[in-house]
Amino acid sequence: MSQALNDAVHWADLTADRLIRQEDKETYTLASGITPSGVVHFGNFREVMTTELVARGLKKRGKKVRFIFSWDDYDTFRKVPANLPKQDELSQFLFQPIVDTPDPFGEHESYAAHHEKSFEAQLKKMGIDLEPIYQSKKYKTGAYKEQIKLTLAKKDVIAGILNKWRSTPLSDDWMPVSVYCEKCNRDKTTATSYDGHNKLNYTCDSEDCKHTGSVDLDTTSRVKLPWRMDWPMRWSVEKVDFEPGGKDHSSQGGSFTTAKDIVSEVYGWKAPMYLQYDFVSIKGMGGKMSSSKGNLVTVNDVLDVYEPEMVRWIFASYKTNIDFGLSFDLDVIKNYEDFDRMERMAYGIEPGNDKKVAMAKRVYELSQIGDHPSEMPFQPAFRHLCNVLQINDLDIKRARSFYTNEIKNERDERRFQERALRAAYWIENSAPEEFKFSLNKEPVKIEMNHKESTFLYELHNFLKSEWNHITDDKMLHERMYEMIHAQELEPMPVFTLLYKKLIGLEKGPKLAGFIRTIGMERVLKLLVP
Ligand SMILES: [Zn+2]
224-246: per-residue pLDDT in tens? 999 999 999 999 999 999 999 98
Binned at pLDDT 50, 70 and 90, residue 340 comes out as: very high
Contact at 8 Å (CB) between 140 and 100?
Answer: no
Q: How far is the CA of 77 from the centre of ligand 1 (A)?
A: 15
Q: How far is the CA of 76 from the centre of ligand 1 (A)?
A: 14
Dihedral over Cα of 509, 515, 519, 523: its sign: positive
Would you say residue 185 has pLDDT above 70?
Answer: yes
Q: Across-strand partners of 235?
A: none
Binned at pLDDT 50, 70 and 90, residue 289 comes out as: very low
- The architecture (CATH level 2) of 450-526 comes to Orthogonal Bundle (1.10)
Q: How far is the CA of 470 from the centre of ligand 1 (A)?
A: 81
Report which of residues 350 and 296 the model is more confident about: 350
Binned at pLDDT 50, 70 and 90, residue 221 comes out as: very high
Binned at pLDDT 50, 70 and 90, residue 288 comes out as: very low
Q: How far is the CA of 350 from the centre of ligand 1 (A)?
A: 67
Cα-only R_g, the chain: 30
Q: How far is the CA of 137 from the centre of ligand 1 (A)?
A: 22
Q: How far is the CA of 208 from the centre of ligand 1 (A)?
A: 8
Same topology for domains 2-145+226-280 and 282-435, yes or no?
Answer: no
Binned at pLDDT 50, 70 and 90, residue 81 comes out as: confident
Q: How far is the CA of 185 from the centre of ligand 1 (A)?
A: 6
| Spatial distance between the Cα atoms of 308 and 35, rounded to a whole number of angstroms | 24
| Spatial distance between the Cα atoms of 159 and 297, rounded to a whole number of angstroms | 39
* Predicted local confidence at residue 218, as pLDDT: 97
Would you say residue 4 has pLDDT above 70?
Answer: no
User: Using one digit for the tens of pLDDT, what is the confidence trace for 393-449?
Assistant: 999 999 999 999 999 999 999 999 999 999 999 999 989 998 999 999 999 999 999
Binned at pLDDT 50, 70 and 90, residue 296 comes out as: confident
Q: How far is the CA of 204 from the centre of ligand 1 (A)?
A: 5
Q: How far is the CA of 94 from the centre of ligand 1 (A)?
A: 12
Q: How far is the CA of 366 from the centre of ligand 1 (A)?
A: 50
**Protein fold of 282-435:** Arc Repressor Mutant, subunit A (1.10.10)
Contact at 8 Å (CB) between 316 and 331?
Answer: no
* Predicted local confidence at residue 405, as pLDDT: 94
Would you say residue 210 has pLDDT above 50?
Answer: yes
Q: How far is the CA of 176 from the centre of ligand 1 (A)?
A: 19
| Spatial distance between the Cα atoms of 316 and 339, rounded to a whole number of angstroms | 12
Sort strands 131-134 and 324-327 into parallel, antiparallel or unpaired: unpaired
Binned at pLDDT 50, 70 and 90, residue 144 comes out as: very high
Residue ranges with CB less than 5 Å from ion ligand 1: 181, 183-184, 204, 206, 209, 211
Q: How far is the CA of 213 from the centre of ligand 1 (A)?
A: 9
Would you say residue 290 has pLDDT above 70?
Answer: no
Q: How far is the CA of 184 from the centre of ligand 1 (A)?
A: 4
Greatest alpha-carbon pair distance for the chain in Å reads 103
Q: How far is the CA of 212 from the centre of ligand 1 (A)?
A: 8
- Which amino acid, 491? P
Would you say residue 276 has pLDDT above 50?
Answer: yes
Q: How far is the CA of 209 from the centre of ligand 1 (A)?
A: 5
Q: How far is the CA of 88 from the centre of ligand 1 (A)?
A: 20
2-145+226-280 CATH pick, 3.40.50.620, 3.90.650.10, 3.30.565.10, 3.20.20.70? 3.40.50.620
Q: How far is the CA of 73 from the centre of ligand 1 (A)?
A: 20
Q: How far is the CA of 161 from the centre of ligand 1 (A)?
A: 30
Would you say residue 293 has pLDDT above 70?
Answer: no
Q: How far is the CA of 222 from the centre of ligand 1 (A)?
A: 12
Among residues of the chain, what percentage have pLDDT more than 70? 96
Nearest-5° angle of CA 20, CA 21, CA 25?
40
With b for 16 or more beta-carbon neighbours within 10 A and e for fewer, the 102-140 pattern comes to bbbeeeeebbbbbbbebbeebbeebebebeebbbbebbe
Q: How far is the CA of 234 from the centre of ligand 1 (A)?
A: 27
Q: How far is the CA of 178 from the centre of ligand 1 (A)?
A: 13
Average per-residue pLDDT in the chain? 94
Domain ranges in the chain?
Answer: 2-145+226-280, 178-224, 282-435, 450-526
Average pLDDT over residues 307-335: 93
User: Using one digit for the tens of pLDDT, what is the confidence trace for 482-506?
Assistant: 999 999 999 999 999 999 999 999 9
Q: Across-strand partners of 68?
A: 31, 131
Number of H helices, E strands in the chain: 23, 12
| DSSP assignment of 121-179 | HHHHHTT---EEEEHHHHHHTTTTHHHHHHHHHTHHHHHHHHHTT-SSPPPTT--S-EE
Q: How far is the CA of 177 from the centre of ligand 1 (A)?
A: 16
Contact at 8 Å (CB) between 11 and 319?
Answer: yes
Among residues of the chain, what percentage have pLDDT more than 90? 87
Report which of residues 294 and 363 the model is more confident about: 363
Q: Across-strand partners of 134?
A: 71
Closest CA to 476 of 525, 527, 518, 515: 515
Quote the ipTM score: 1.00
Q: How far is the CA of 95 from the centre of ligand 1 (A)?
A: 10
User: Using one digit for the tens of pLDDT, what is the confidence trace for 347-394?
Assistant: 999 999 999 999 999 999 999 998 888 999 999 999 999 999 999 999
Average pLDDT over residues 74-86: 91
Q: How far is the CA of 215 from the centre of ligand 1 (A)?
A: 13
* Predicted local confidence at residue 104, as pLDDT: 96
Closest CA to 528 of 508, 498, 503, 490: 498
Q: Across-strand partners of 203?
A: 190, 212
Q: How far is the CA of 207 from the centre of ligand 1 (A)?
A: 8
| Spatial distance between the Cα atoms of 237 and 233, rounded to a whole number of angstroms | 6
Would you say residue 294 has pLDDT above 60?
Answer: no
* Predicted local confidence at residue 249, as pLDDT: 81
Average pLDDT over residues 31-57: 94
